[in-house]
Amino acid sequence: MKTLKIAIQKSGRLNEKSVELLKNCGLSFENYKSSLISPVSNFPLEILFLRDDDIPEYVQDGIADLGIVGENVIEETEVDVAYLQRLGYGKCSLKLAIPVNSDIKTIADLNGKAIATSYPSILKRFLAKNNITADIRTISGSVEIAPGLGMSNAICDLVSTGGTLKSNGLQAFADVLKSEAILIGRKGEENNPLTQELIQRVQSVLRAKETKYVVLNAENKNLDTIKTLLPGIKSPTVVPLAEEGWSAVHTVIPEKDFWERISSLKNAGAQGIVVMPIEKIIL
Ligand code: PRT
Ligand code: ZN
């Protein structure tokens, strides 16, 4: 079977999480900082370490079969690739921002103004969609200093915490694109059995991250109410305790409404609740 190639960022914000994800998928490889390619010893896969900007085109052109890269980079390069899986890290938003004392109040006020960005093609499409004609000034980095230097009236840049905008006297006023790391593939790659196997492993790691394993004790008379509060993968496992009239309930619960569920379980008589992380969930 042909060895797959996956391109990930060599260094930068997505490198560490991408390496961690692949390792959690059970793939064994050296994270060489100095080399471009690292073979995986227990799966027919090679890892290419690249600048993130090159990844979408490498995948589109078939130099790599798969890639992990921010949606912002994919959208900017306008490549034709398959989105295989959203990965939930590297989250950020491409936003329009203006100096705090600016008279620009709405998107329409951008008409005739200059906007500095490293994302000219996404911005161009956004402005066209909103019927705005503005002067797009493309710069490759430190976009946030452009208004202060008199180069532009606004900027369009990535924001995660908002700290960079704030420290440069800027404020965000519109969202252009929400982004996160995405597993992409060459068109048609989703039909390759090796790729399908890899996607399943990735999904089992992501699913595990979203859920916790919970064991609790309850008096048998409270079990019916407790069971209605617990989804489990199919349904909860109930085993009798050594103490007469009591049972242990094992289940998984979603991370997102974790505390609400725990307090309703306590109200329903659950005791000695033990919560554990899950490594993988294979359906
Ligand atoms: O060297 P290479 O070309 O591979 O990397 P790079 O320098 O081009 O990219 P890198 O490593 O900075 O970012 C990789 C990806 O991480 C981006 O393409 C995004 O998908 C994602 N990401 C998530 C971010 C941010 N958060 C982010 N905050 N990318 C950049 N930023 C920058 C932003 O441009 C701004 O300068 O961080 C600053 C703002 O951050 P806050 O927290 O102050 O708002
Ligand atoms: Zn880059």
CA of 70 to the centre of ligand 1 (A): 9
Cβ-Cβ contacts under 8 Å for 127 (sequence gap 6 or more): 110, 133, 134, 136
The per-residue pLDDT for 230 is 86
Residue ranges near ligand 2 (ion) with Cβ within 5 Å: 52-53
User: What does each C-alpha distance from 147 to 31, 47, 169 come to in angstroms?
Assistant: 40, 40, 10
- In-domain check, residue 97: yes
Mutate to test the pocket of ligand 1, among 92, 164, 165, 166 (most ligand atoms within 8 A of CB): 92
Q: Report the atom number in ligand 1 closest to the C-alpha of 50.
A: 4
Q: Quick check: CB of 54 below 6 Å from ligand 1?
A: no
- In-domain check, residue 106: yes
Band (pLDDT 50/70/90 cuts) for residue 233 is confident
- For residue 195, what is the enclosing H or E element? helix 193-209
- In-domain check, residue 145: yes
CA of 159 to the centre of ligand 2 (A): 15
Q: Quick check: CB of 52 below 6 Å from ligand 1?
A: yes
Q: Quick check: CB of 179 below 6 Å from ligand 1?
A: yes
Band (pLDDT 50/70/90 cuts) for residue 32 is confident
202 and 83 within one domain: yes
160 and 60 within one domain: no
175 and 96 within one domain: yes
**What is the extent of the structural domain holding 55?**
4-88+180-208
- In-domain check, residue 34: yes
pTM: 0.91
Assign residue 195 the CATH number of its domain: 3.40.190.10
- In-domain check, residue 282: no
Left, alpha or beta for 195 (phi > 0: left; psi -120 to 50: alpha)?
alpha
> Rounded to the nearest 10 degrees, how much is the dihedral formed by the CA atoms of 107, 137, 170, 119?
80
Q: What percent of the chain has pLDDT over 70?
A: 99
Task: Specify which residues 171 forms β-bridges with.
Answer: 98
- For residue 18, what is the enclosing H or E element? helix 15-24
The per-residue pLDDT for 156 is 98
- In-domain check, residue 283: no
Q: Report the atom number in ligand 1 closest to the C-alpha of 143.
A: 36
197 and 60 within one domain: yes
Q: Report the atom number in ligand 1 closest to the C-alpha of 13.
A: 11
199 and 251 within one domain: no
Name the residue at shortest CA distance from atom 14 of ligand 1.
13
Q: Nearest to residue 59, comparing CAs of 80, 78, 45, 43?
A: 80
201 and 83 within one domain: yes
**Which tens digits make up the pLDDT trace of 124-180?**
999 999 999 999 999 999 999 999 999 999 999 999 999 999 999 999 999 999 999
Q: What percent of the chain has pLDDT over 90?
A: 87
14 and 133 within one domain: no
**Which tens digits make up the pLDDT trace of 36-68?**
999 999 999 999 999 999 999 999 999 999 999
174 and 246 within one domain: no
- Number of structural domains found in the chain: 3
116 and 138 within one domain: yes
The per-residue pLDDT for 245 is 96
Assign residue 266 the CATH number of its domain: 3.30.70.120
The per-residue pLDDT for 182 is 98
7: which 2 tokens?
A: 């391109």
The per-residue pLDDT for 31 is 81
219 and 161 within one domain: no
- In-domain check, residue 156: yes
113 and 48 within one domain: no
267 and 222 within one domain: yes
Q: Quick check: CB of 142 below 6 Å from ligand 1?
A: no
The per-residue pLDDT for 1 is 73
- In-domain check, residue 170: yes
Helices (H), 92-192: 120-129, 163-167
The per-residue pLDDT for 134 is 98
Rounded to an integer, the average pLDDT of 72-87 is 97
User: In this structure, is the dihedral angle defined by the CA atoms of residues 212, 217, 220 and 221, taken in order, positive or negative?
Assistant: negative
The per-residue pLDDT for 9 is 97
d(CA 126, CA 155): 13
**Which tens digits make up the pLDDT trace of 204-220?**
999 999 999 999 999 99
Rounded to an integer, the average pLDDT of 87-115 is 97
211 in Cβ contact with 253 (< 8 Å): yes
